[in-house]
Amino acid sequence: MEKLTSPGVTRAVLTRYGIRARKKYGQNFLTDGRIVRGIVEAAGITKEDCVLEIGPGIGTMTQVLSEAAGTVVCVEIDETLRPVLSQTLEDCDNVEILWQDILKTDLKELSDRFNNGMPLKVVANLPYYVTTPILLRLLEDKGRFESITVMVQKEVAERICAGPGSKEYGALSLAVQYYSSPQVVLKVPPACFMPRPAVESAVLHLQAYEEPPVDADEEFMFALIRASFNQRRKTLANGLSHGFRCRDRVLTRGEAEAALQALGLPPDIRGEKLSLEQFAALSRELERE
């Protein structure tokens, strides 16, 4: 089968099988071979690796992954792509396709079955409408994945990598940075896709931590974080007194202000100013009370 990393070949394959990008699944087919190879290179794929590809589409990146990896396991929700993938991947003997929703996939069973329970590497051109749920599901399954290299909307990449004090910084930034070290490795213009999306894209590489970078009760800390960003204009103390709930625990404004004072932070500080380390310290302080 010819390589799919060009607009002409991609268009011919789509026409041959009557395939159209389906808005239902957020499909935009990547056609730039330079970008595809850049993603696989950024993921650090070797013949020792078992790779999980989410949403192979018509197999553009799958072909390149097949050449680089030991095993490629694809999870694809759109079964109308069966005939095209059977042809585009006919020479890829190390590729297995699972026709299912990644959000409903048993990730432990997948790891056990294809990689003897060892961590996988994830590579994906994610549907933008479901990027966050997929990323958090993968990251929260600790130890299952060594790294995640994904195409996402540029604005989402900026939020994930943002630091304290910036307008992009929020609960998503803290969640991803708790589980991994994120880095933008490529910026991708709309012209690299068919059809062209209305937004710019970026490739993120998330290197998963073996252990979290901070010491805190995870459930308690993330309850603090969610309450802190639910109403960004409120001070942190106000946000926690109105929105914090965890294991039947609630907080008063006085409790929140006392904990902030113990950490040397002003009582009127907003959550967007606190780093992950400071949220962890605040969590430990409030749990002691």
pLDDT tens digit sequence for 14-73: 788 777 766 666 667 888 889 999 999 999 999 999 999 999 999 999 999 999 999 999
Span 135-141, average pLDDT: 95
Q: Is the pLDDT of residue 205 over 90?
A: yes
Report how far residue 155's alpha carbon sits from residue 53's, in angstroms, rounded to the nearest whole number. Answer: 22
Domains and CATH numbers, the chain: 7-208 (3.40.50.150), 218-288 (1.10.8.100)
**Phi and psi at residue 114, in whole multiples of 5°?**
-105, -15
- Whether 197 shows a pLDDT value over 90: the answer reads no
Give me the mean pLDDT over the 133-145 stretch.
94
Percentage of the chain with pLDDT > 70? 96
pLDDT digits (tens, 9 = 90+) for 241-259: 999 999 999 999 999 999 9
Residue 289 clears pLDDT 80, i.e. is over it: no
| Residues paired with residue 121 on neighbouring β-strands, in sequence order | 51, 147
Whether 229 and 171 have beta carbons less than 8 Å apart is answered as yes
More confident residue, 129 or 123: 123
Mind listing the pLDDT tens digit for each residue in 23-36?
666 667 888 889 99
- Look over the chain and give the mean of its residue pLDDT values, rounded to a whole number: 92
